[in-house]
Amino acid sequence: MKEANSASGANKPELRISEDGSTTLYLASLDEHYHSYHGAIQESMHLFIKEGLAKLPPSESLNILEIGFGTGLNALLTLIHKPASTIHYHSLEKFPLGNEFTRQLNYPELLGDEGLRLLFNHLHDSEWNREVKINEGFYLSKHLCDFRDFSSELKFDLIYFDAFGPDKQPELWSAQLFANIASMTAKGGLLTSYSAKGTVRRTLEAAGFKVERIPGPPGKRQMIRATRQ
């Protein structure tokens, strides 16, 4: 999910209920929600699972990079819907949420499986900066870092670009950042993002992606899906 400012003091997020009944967080310092207020689960399902994960060709193993671990919702949905035998899921976050927030998030209960609560807590409680086996075939590496400082020799098949919007945190949508992401993306790999701004499209194209504007989730007319050339 999104990279926020430090979750303390004036920047402490507030728990909110989105229109599909799922929880999200609101950050007053940016006047921004972590997810669409039209529905947190339905937004993540559309942006990252339906238009990202489900569009990849069949594979025994996938490398996924998430820009913004946030609430852990994207990781949970990927774990549930994983199409490959093995997924290595890498997620970047500079300001992790504490248990006082994550234990109040209701995604496992709404997704209808009591066992998901244990897995969801495991996602959040797992150690940072090392690979952790969450369950059979799903390996999580949470990187405690600024997005702009991350590099990897891995080639990622799928990028979940889930930072706050370019109007709120323009430094996270720079040409340099997208060039770095492109260097870590496998040929034919996908990047999905809720932003469909022309500046974002042009920056991705300059970095070596073929960009499509496709229908977005409820409340969002368009989103971006980009393919590494």
pLDDT tens per residue, range 63-113 = 999 999 999 999 999 999 999 899 999 999 999 999 999 999 999 999 988
Residue 32, token pair as written in the block: 């921004």
pTM (predicted TM-score): 0.93
Share of the chain above pLDDT 90, in %: 85
The pLDDT of residue 113 is: 80
Distance between start and end Cα atoms, the chain: 26
Lookup result for tokens 């390996």:
139
Calpha distance 161→224 (Å, rounded) = 10
Among 40, 35, 124, 129, which Cα is nearest to 79's?
124
The yes-or-no verdict on residue 6 having pLDDT over 60 is: no
- Are the CB atoms for 227 and 190 separated by under 8 Å? yes
Q: Give me the residue spans of the domains in the chain.
A: 9-228
Structure tokens at 162: 């889930």
The pLDDT tens digits for 137-153 are 999 999 999 999 999 99
CATH 3.40.50.300 fits 9-228, yes or no: no
The DSSP output letter for 148 is G
Question: Does position 23 have pLDDT exceeding 70, yes or no?
Answer: yes
For position 2, what pLDDT does the model report?
53
53: nearest Cα among 18, 24, 21, 80: 80
Which among 85, 87, 123 has a CA at the least distance from the CA of 103? 123
- List, in order, residues 6 or more apart from 77 with CB less than 8 Å away: 41, 44, 45, 48, 49
